[in-house]
Chains A and B, each alone.
Chain A
Amino acid sequence: MRDWEAFVRSHLDLPGMSGGRDRRIVGELAAHLEEVWEEARARGVTDEEAEALVLAKLGDQRDAAQELLRTERHHAAAETGRRVQRVEDGLRDRGSLWARLADLVMEIRLTLRTLARRPLFGAVVVLTLALGVGASTSIFTLLDSVVLSPLPYRSPDRLVSIAHVPSADRGREIGSRPLAQCAAWHYTYQEESQVFESLAMYTTTTVNITGDGEPEAVEGFAVTSSLFPTLGMAPVLGRVLLPADEDPSSERVAMLGYGYWRSRFGGDSSVVGKTVVVNGVPREIVGVAPLGIMALGGDPRVVVPLRLPRAQIFVGNLQFGGVARLRDGVTTADAEADLARMLPLAFEKFPGGPVFDEMRRANWVPIVRPLKDALVGPVGRLLWVLMAGVALVLLVACANVANLMLVRADGRGHEMAVRVALGASRGRITWEHLKESLVLCALGCVGGLGLAVGGVRLLAGMPRGRIPRVDEVAFDPRALVFAIAVSLAAALVFAAVPAVRFWGRDLTRSLKQGSGAVSGGRRRHLTQQTLATGQISLSVVVLVAAGLLLRSAWGLWHVDPGFRHRRDVLAVRLTISGPQLPQDAAGVARLEEAVARSLGEVAGVRSVGMATQLPMGPGLTTVPLYAEGLTSPDAGSEIVRRHKWVGEGYFETLGVPLLAGRPLTWDDAHNLAPVAVVSRRIAVSLWGSVGAAIGKRVAARQDPLRWHEVVGVVGDVREAGLGQEPVPVVYWPQMALAFWQGSAPTDTLAWATFSYAIRSDRVGTPGFLEDVKRAVWSVSPVLPLTWIGTMSRFEEISVDQTTFMLNLLGIASLVAVLLGLVGVYGVMSYTVSRRTAEIGMRMVLGAETRQVRTMVLRQCLGLVAVGVGVGLALSLGVTRVLSGVLYGVAPADPLTFGLVAIGLTAAALAASYVPAHRASRVDPMVVLRAE
């Protein structure tokens, strides 16, 4: 028994049909062909002949399949129509309100059918709207999540950040933010405050996690236990840190960061009570921190309590961030005043310390800001600029669509006139326009939402450092409301533009006069020209903003960072901490040198340098500098000097120019030599010139037991980022004796955390990282490494936000310009079509093609000149907002404005060349005959 259904399927390809329909069609065809076969066999033909008859009945298999598929598509459409009809009929049977709803459904269905007859028009409108709605909704979501939404804490409007600046520096931000908080002030405020409900302190740190698998160096937070109740955060699992955990004599504990708990511990709900080895010390896991802690900045893998014995606390060491919750009714001004009252009390509570006098002399003032402002910072302003740019693009897109709707409305002019003649009211005419507008905008909104969901996912996947609170970016109901509101507003405008035009005219009289009068050609032309001019103006604004940002970014990318080697230098950081590693300063220093020498022996490595911090890397050590013989009270007021401890080869590896003297060597460290190298800025500010610095003596303590001789001067480096001025730097040898104020004559200072710069042409090539790891672990197998990246990556990070803004604004401006040019093309095309008779006449009277082309282009030039002029005027006002984020370029930069004006004018003229050319091809004889 032959399987005829299989025969049909093997000969006809019918993709995409539903199961039931597919079975029916195949079943019927199979039955039919079986009959043909049996009839043929009954007549006595052979199997081959019968098969031939069957195939003849099937006909051309491709054509047959296409015919059946075409029929199936019509069936699907008809079935949908029948279902909708049944729904409508069902609604009508339920009462008058439902009947109205049924009528609405029917009207929407008819509108869709009308639009289906002009698929290109519908597709262009929906696509344009989808792009505009999608882009604006994506950026709104970013803005909403980062800037508008409250922080994810209890009563976030009562939270403030506490920072400090020397009074001489008030109003000037050092690095990227004011210097923050120190332990002495924190505890003083906590004990004496009258305005705060609670205070907390935190700092970021790098810790080593060892145990299972490879040792890891990860980011962690060290916090006071008051952080969680201050912010109002509850743990995801277990408990938060308690005051008892801060007691140096208590058992060591830690909380896991939420992401780390998921990734390294698999989200194990029984992780509480287990042990994690942090910096070689086992700690009991007491809980898992909520995601909200990331809003403070960074992505901590572990959270450990700050354990600061009171006897060791001193006024200085501003490496902490301060957070506080205001009591009800207290303002930030009240808080600042109270802090200013308490600040001097810290010197009484915590006397002494290495920088006591220096800190007192600097006359510090507290700065209290809403916590959100402190965390979001200047990024907020950038995002508003971006939102404005995208809004302009949306307006340009809407202008394009409005133009298309005008043309469409004119196409229906006769129909509208007939409706009015038959008694339709103006309201009914308006409803006819509004219906189509609403349906198109609804489709555009749906498309835009789809694009926005994708766009938001892309934005949420950005690296954490680029935009704060990026982990909170998600598509939410507010974004949906925004998209719907934008689409609805657009729909009302699109309906109003043609409807209002029809209101002002007697349509029945126009009907008698003919179609030209009905379409109101002249008025339509004026509206179109206005829309096109508006598009050009808005495009100018977006282009100018993008151009200014481009010039800023260009300036930043080309600024001299102060060191030559970037792409060929790999940065690696390691922390020497754990029971298997040296605990004394000399042992730590020997191990660090051994690692540097081992790295130097890796194939292809030209040079290795090490320092407590690389340029533009994390960390900032600010300590006063005393110069021998300089007793002026101003000498200590430059509180912000960066101090680094370096090994041999640091300057050579990075390419920092040596301006005088010599660099530091391993012998300087071995011999605890009292030497130092200073940057050019320090040499000039303290001794007047680079050369004058050599041989002078400096110290980091007020009553130095040993002065350090300046043996070298190096060039300035933009330590704080490409967009910041170079910071004065003092370079000390890897080990130093009796360094800090109050340290004993035999106290040796050596840092346990060092960054290594490795210069090699092999950076970025396969296998190099493995070779580096092997070189480090050949010295000690328990040393975990943090891969930081190349020095050029540091540079990129320092201009990350500007680059990010530029990318998005650049895309927005391109889209705006494209849409604007389409608008110009449309207007000029229509102009030519209206003036065909006139052009024909001119040519009959002797006008040449060149002259006709010039005439059209001149008209375009007039239109564009107005648009560009208005746009430039608008830009002057708008770009002032950008002044805080620009680098090396003024908001009213004439070069940028000029280039945009010329470029856009040229592009618009190019866009109108085709209609101009078409005008010059008009056949005057054809025109005359028509007249």
Chain B
Amino acid sequence: MFDSDLKRGSMELFILSALEGQTRHGYEIGKHIEFRSKGQLQLPVSTLYSALYRMEDRGWIKGRWVEKHGERRRCYYSLTPKGEATLADQRKEWKAYSLVVDLVIGVSHA
């Protein structure tokens, strides 16, 4: 539904917010984003995991393999302190940016 470049640009913010206060594995992150967007954001696995690995390299999130009895081994992700700070910054930036965009293109909110 949305332009893929637009989605890709916001991917990291979606993932950071999905991990706020939570530890989730990749499938849960994808489901969370899909749920919160009311089904409008369904991410292909390659996009989701590429973003996860990039963010892990930057030190924003940390992955940990967990094997629960009777279940498949999964990698659970959580925010690092650097990730939490990045989330706060990106939230502020997004709020300010979306205000500017609305001003320029003439969108008003009720």
Contact = CB atoms under 8 A, between A and B. Distances in A.
A59 to B, nearest CB: 3
A498 to B, nearest CB: 37
A34 interface: yes
A68 B49 contact: yes
A725 interface: no
Interface of B: 25-27, 30, 44-47, 49-50, 53-54, 57, 72-75
Interface string A63-80: 111011011101100110
Nearest to A72: B53
Contacts of B53: 25, 71-72, 75
A31 B27 contact: yes
Contacts of A43: none
Contacts of A71: 49-50, 53-54
B45 A33 contact: yes
Interface in A36-50: 36
A24 B75 contact: yes
A175 to B, nearest CB: 74
Contacts of A36: 27
B2 to A, nearest CB: 15
A58 B44 contact: yes
Interface residues of A, number: 26
A65 B50 CA distance: 10
A64 B26 contact: no
A549 to B, nearest CB: 59
A57 interface: yes
Given A58-B44, A64-B44, A31 B49 contact: no
A31 B47 contact: no
Interface of A: 24-25, 27-29, 31-36, 57-59, 63-65, 67-68, 70-72, 74-75, 78-79
Contacts of B50: 67-68, 70-71
Contact of A32 (B27, B54, B57, B73): B27
A63 B46 contact: yes
B48 to A, nearest CB: 8
Nearest to A78: B57
A35 to B, nearest CB: 4
Nearest to B54: A71
A25 B72 CA distance: 15
A27 B73 contact: yes
A70 B54 CA distance: 10
Contacts of B74: 28, 31
Contacts of A57: 44-45
Given A28-B75, A31-B74, A74-B54, A67 B46 contact: yes
Contact of B45 (A64, A70, A74, A78): A64
Secondary structure class of chain A's binding surface, majority of residues? helix
B46 A32 contact: no
A28 B56 CA distance: 14
A795 B67 CA distance: 79
B43 to A, nearest CB: 9
A57 B72 CA distance: 19
B76 to A, nearest CB: 11
A29 B49 contact: yes
Given A31-B26, A31-B27, A58 B72 contact: no
A752 B96 CA distance: 106
A59 B46 contact: yes
B72 A34 contact: yes
Nearest to B74: A31
A25 B49 contact: yes
A230 B72 CA distance: 80
Contacts of A78: 57
Contacts of A68: 46, 49-50
A75 B54 CA distance: 7
Contacts of B75: 24, 27-28
Contacts of A75: 53-54, 57
6 contacts: A31-B25, A64-B44, A64-B45, A67-B47, A67-B50, A75-B57
Contacts of A72: 53
B27 A59 contact: no
B27 A35 contact: yes
Given A67-B50, A78-B57, A28 B44 contact: no
Contacts of B46: 58-59, 63-65, 67-68
B39 to A, nearest CB: 14
A74 B54 CA distance: 8
A29 B44 CA distance: 11
Contacts of B54: 71, 74-75
Given A24-B75, A28-B26, A67-B46, 14 more contacts: A25-B49, A28-B49, A29-B45, A31-B27, A31-B72, A31-B73, A32-B49, A35-B27, A59-B45, A67-B50, A68-B46, A68-B49, A71-B54, A74-B57
A29 to B, nearest CB: 6
A46 B46 CA distance: 25
Contacts of A79: 57
A11 to B, nearest CB: 11
A59 B49 CA distance: 13
Contacts of A28: 26, 49, 74-75
Contacts of A64: 44-46
A58 B30 CA distance: 13
Given A67-B50, A71-B53, A75-B53, A32 B30 contact: yes
A578 B47 CA distance: 84
B26 to A, nearest CB: 5
Contacts of A32: 26-27, 30, 45, 49
A10 B31 CA distance: 25
A368 B54 CA distance: 77
A402 B50 CA distance: 43
B57 A58 contact: no
Nearest to A24: B75
Contacts of A70: 50
A864 B74 CA distance: 71
Nearest to A21: B53
Contacts of B45: 29, 32-33, 57-59, 64
B57 to A, nearest CB: 4
Listed residue (B25, B26, B44) with the most chain A CB atoms within 10 angstroms of its CB:
B44
Contacts of B49: 25, 28-29, 32, 68, 71
Contacts of A33: 45
Contacts of A29: 45, 49
A170 B20 CA distance: 100
A150 to B, nearest CB: 57
A578 to B, nearest CB: 79
A15 to B, nearest CB: 16
A27 B45 CA distance: 12
Contacts of B25: 31
Contacts of A67: 46-47, 50
A782 B36 CA distance: 96
A65 B47 CA distance: 10
A27 B65 CA distance: 11
A64 B44 CA distance: 8
A75 B74 CA distance: 20
